[in-house]
Copies of this chain bind each other. A is one copy, B any other.
């Protein structure tokens, strides 16, 4: 019995490379993908400075990617959920500028890049899809830049939580209750804040009845208000009565 899962039956194919591919293209893509063994928490998928050979697609679990600063600190540049593709930042330099590490037990598919290019040459839809994924990542990066430059700590964290909720929903998970696979330290690192600030804000959000926090478990109580505050809408201004 074939235990390995194929793109054709993967429940996250709607978020991944297979989007809008026909059967033939999908089969060709599936043929070149190497299923990797499971990663345990803290296992390194990509080590920065290593030569770029493959992209990786997350099948289950979650990972973080980070660049290392000249003074040795890490800066997290992304959290990856099932269906996400990792490694686009390495295509140009042929060397990975960032590292990727599993945040929990995870599975990934390895997509050898030169082979992917061959298949992409035969199937324009696949080439197109790769570009769409990269375009989206550039767009997300721009929005993140806005967040870091213009938003206060509470707005950043609310953005993070609402975005995570949305991403879970897209993947068929609950968007109202989920586990954070990253530590508060890692959330702070990503958002340009300290652990202490993240911790204080989470307790404050709980007091304000926006969420319920139980360690890693987050329950979303008032999504609309969270979304509004995440976008910098201050309710004092919204007292425009009918």
Contacts and interface: CB of A to CB of B under 8 A. Distances in A.
Nearest to A228: B70
A145 B90 contact: no
Interface in A56-98: 67, 69-71, 73, 75, 77, 88-93, 97-98
Given A70-B231, A232-B70, A88 B135 contact: yes
A84 to B, nearest CB: 13
Interface string A123-150: 0100110111111111101111110111
B192 A149 contact: yes
Nearest to A75: B146
Contact of A132 (B91, B127, B141): B91
Nearest to A121: B124
Contacts of A146: 67, 69, 75, 77
A75 B150 contact: yes
Contacts of A130: 131
Contacts of A71: 231-233
B124 A91 contact: no
A168 B77 CA distance: 27
A98 B146 CA distance: 12
A103 to B, nearest CB: 18
Contacts of A164: none
Contact of A134 (B127, B134, B231): B134
A38 interface: no
Given A71-B233, A91-B132, A117-B124, A145 B141 contact: yes
Nearest to A90: B135
A120 interface: yes
B97 A142 contact: yes
A89 B139 contact: yes
Given A67-B142, A89-B139, 19 more contacts: A67-B143, A69-B150, A70-B232, A75-B149, A77-B142, A90-B139, A91-B131, A97-B139, A120-B127, A121-B127, A131-B131, A134-B134, A134-B135, A134-B138, A137-B138, A138-B141, A141-B142, A141-B145, A145-B148
Interface of A: 67, 69-71, 73, 75, 77, 88-93, 97-98, 117, 120-121, 124, 127-128, 130-139, 141-146, 148-150, 189-192, 231-233
